[in-house]
Structure 1
């Protein structure tokens, strides 16, 4: 008789991380699916599909089925989840219980879409946990005590900011401004300043390598190739850290403003706790150089980047798996505790 392999999934706009109970994180793949439009057959999923973005012939399309933290293509998301679950647990006759992270601002309809996609993909039962809670648990914060913690989770599609105390979210805000919006801002900036069109993958490489949200002492540069919009021919240009700072200024300022607005709604006692402990940042987006300094300057509160920030949500989901039965209803949503039947 097989042993149930409970699965935790950080279903992100940019990437999917899969946690298996007892094994830890077993998979990290981009949230990209390549399909043949003529046959509707999936050709590649994950990293191999990501390599096809912007490089496919007419009958093949590489798409990201999640936008701004929510499902934009239900069928493709379901197939992607089925692929990842099967790849993670292998051939098993026992259907796994699954916990999936969702942004704190999703609607009931969007939650229903995630639940249905997971259950149709082979889950025996699906639970949802809000990303800031999972991120806080994964970052090692003790959220069970009556003390305030502020967590900022910056992913690809959404930035989730939450103040957590006694295991629950006291104040939260979810904005659809995160890593992807930074990439789009870089593409627009280069097109406007240099009259060169670059792809989002090139923009992402620039963001990771020389991107900054705060003035730097040492200027960095990187060469990128794009298409000259005047001649239509390929052209190499050199981008600097100052360019990146200017390109992303509006996007990162919006994130800092959202953090400030959460502080304004935070009860004084919890605000005092946060001021003493500092703010904790998680998610791939928080690794943009200087973003922690920008938020610290905007709020006047020390801001820390969590260890292994990219994996915090997945790790928190995994820890939640270990304590599924003891977690409160306020932290978990599932298809049984919520009644979605038509009246």
Structure 2
């Protein structure tokens, strides 16, 4: 009863995940909200709402309430988390009432931004709320020994931002945040297609291109994809074929900025911990870690071993779920 009432919440820019120590991952869907302004009514959340993007009449808004890892629309974010709790409660039953919540927040989140997360969790019925920084949660979820006096370098490649951190003794030694993530790569692809093919495509199309043939520089891929959109010169619909080298060209500038942010963190590493980094390397978490070839490319650029966590997209959610047991002192300090 006690263990099952402890929940980890990863309320991210593109996805929301709920983790229980006893049941595992309870909820994992897009952080999307569809709202009918005429009826003043919530229509859908998650995957159902995401499928409505770009396909609704003007009075139906489909939005992501978070931007760059922090809350941009308080009311929509609250409605989203309320529905997530409601849907997940069926799996936990009575143990879900007044849960203790561990919620991940960006390392550089301000006190005002943290307060917004706190208020939303309170509105949703949480009894006790504790915060944990996303890099620490990602490291715990990746099974790194964060409580030991060794350097753990984790790079969380999220949708709205990238956070690179060195963690030792349960605390963050150095951290760099960059407002470049998977969403920016999607935007890069959309701009490339618009500039080179005069074609307008949507966010979901760009995301699918990234997933299928997106890759880091130097990665060799043979597959190409056909995309459909509207020619903004003629106004007609048309289809074009994209190959992996074109997508590499589109996203390479953003990837270079991510690599530079990681390099800057490594340069801040204390001398006593530098040997650990050479031996243990860097661990990638977040959906961006699934980009083809990014592991090998970063290893070449940074001159250290780079590994992808076992479940990179779920690492933060898993880490929040384990956090009360693994790092109680760290959580108390974060409040």
TM-score by length of 1: 0.93
Alpha-carbon displacement from aligned partner over 1:55-90 (angstroms, at most 9, x marks no partner): 110111100000000000001101111111121123
Shift of 1:308: 1.4
| Aligned equivalents of 2:23, 2:182: Cα separation in 1 | 29
C-alpha contact 1:183 1:207 (8 A) present in aligned 2? yes
C-alpha contact 2:104 2:131 (8 A) present in aligned 1? yes
What is aligned with 1:239?
A: 242
| Aligned equivalents of 1:37, 1:332: Cα separation in 2 | 41
Shift of 1:284: 0.5
Shift of 1:292: 1.6
| Aligned equivalents of 2:231, 2:256: Cα separation in 1 | 30
| Aligned equivalents of 1:331, 1:274: Cα separation in 2 | 28
| Aligned equivalents of 2:14, 2:221: Cα separation in 1 | 30
What is aligned with 2:56?
A: 56
What is aligned with 2:41?
A: 41
C-alpha contact 1:99 1:129 (8 A) present in aligned 2? yes
What is aligned with 1:296?
A: 299
Shift of 1:2: 9.6
Which one has a larger percent helix, Structure 1 or Structure 2? 2
| Aligned equivalents of 2:175, 2:148: Cα separation in 1 | 18
| Aligned equivalents of 1:16, 1:321: Cα separation in 2 | 20
Matched, 1:156 2:159: yes
| Aligned equivalents of 2:64, 2:311: Cα separation in 1 | 24
Alpha-carbon displacement from aligned partner over 1:162-203 (angstroms, at most 9, x marks no partner): 000111110011111000000011000100011101001000
C-alpha contact 2:10 2:17 (8 A) present in aligned 1? yes
Matched, 1:122 2:125: yes
**Superposed counterparts of 1:103-122, under 5 Å:** 103-122=106-125
What is aligned with 1:185?
A: 188
Extract unaligned runs of 5+ from structure 2. Answer: none
Q: CA RMSD in A?
A: 1.6
Shift of 1:23: 0.7
Matched, 1:94 2:97: yes
Matched, 1:228 2:231: yes
Question: Which of 219, 222, 228 is residue 219 of structure 1 equivalent to?
Answer: 222
SS in structure 1 opposite 2:146?
A: coil
| Aligned equivalents of 2:157, 2:306: Cα separation in 1 | 14
C-alpha contact 1:78 1:121 (8 A) present in aligned 2? yes
Count of residues in Structure 1 that have an aligned counterpart in Structure 2: 332
SS in structure 2 opposite 1:289?
A: coil
Matched, 1:327 2:328: yes
| Aligned equivalents of 1:101, 1:329: Cα separation in 2 | 13
| Aligned equivalents of 2:219, 2:264: Cα separation in 1 | 27
**Superposed counterparts of 1:5-16, under 5 Å:** 5-16=5-16
C-alpha contact 2:4 2:22 (8 A) present in aligned 1? no
Extract unaligned runs of 5+ from structure 1. Answer: 335-343
SS in structure 1 opposite 2:8?
A: strand
For the structure 1 residues 127 and 330, does the alpha-carbon distance in structure 2 shift closer, same or farther, using more than 3 Å as the test?
closer
Shift of 1:331: 6.7
For the structure 1 residues 215 and 88, does the alpha-carbon distance in structure 2 shift closer, same or farther, using more than 3 Å as the test?
same
Shift of 1:126: 1.2
